[in-house]
Amino acid sequence: MKKLSFIFLLFIGFAFSAKAQHDPSDQILSANWDVIGSVDFKTVKDTEMYAIFGPEIKKYANKPFELEGYIVPIKDGMKQTKFMLSTLPINQCFFCGKNGIPVMVMVELTEPIKFTYQTVKIKGNLKLSTANSMDVPPISLTAAKAL
């Protein structure tokens, strides 16, 4: 869980860093990613950060939701069932979050898929967590399937 927290915080932390350049042609843009990007965060102290979900994303909570993005593994291996989904490819993760890119989404698949550097389309139930975002990703797609 500590590794997951570190990875998640790494990407959230970049949201507060200085601006940097990335290859804009690689970035996935969609209305659904805009919904994900509408989430704000409130920092309570160095070890506590909480997601603030507005009405736009709340209307999709616990319902099927589809996203296209890039796999960012949280475990070694070519087959992945639990990973982060990003709007930028892993080779640009240094820049994740620096240019207003939405927070990443945790994906939990029902069946593994092979890791790829190409985009994947995922559909699952959108779950929103009000737990400390330092410990638990605030947004996830559960019982998900690759399309």
8-53 per-position pLDDT tens digit: 444 444 444 334 455 667 788 899 999 999 999 999 988 999 999 9
Dump pLDDT digits (tens) for 101-119.
Answer: 446 899 999 999 999 999 9
Residue 37's nearest CA partner among 82, 64, 67, 63 is: 67
- Total domains in the chain come to 1
For residue 107, what are its two tokens?
């994906």
Q: What domain range is 31 assigned to? A: 2-146
Amino acid type, 106: M
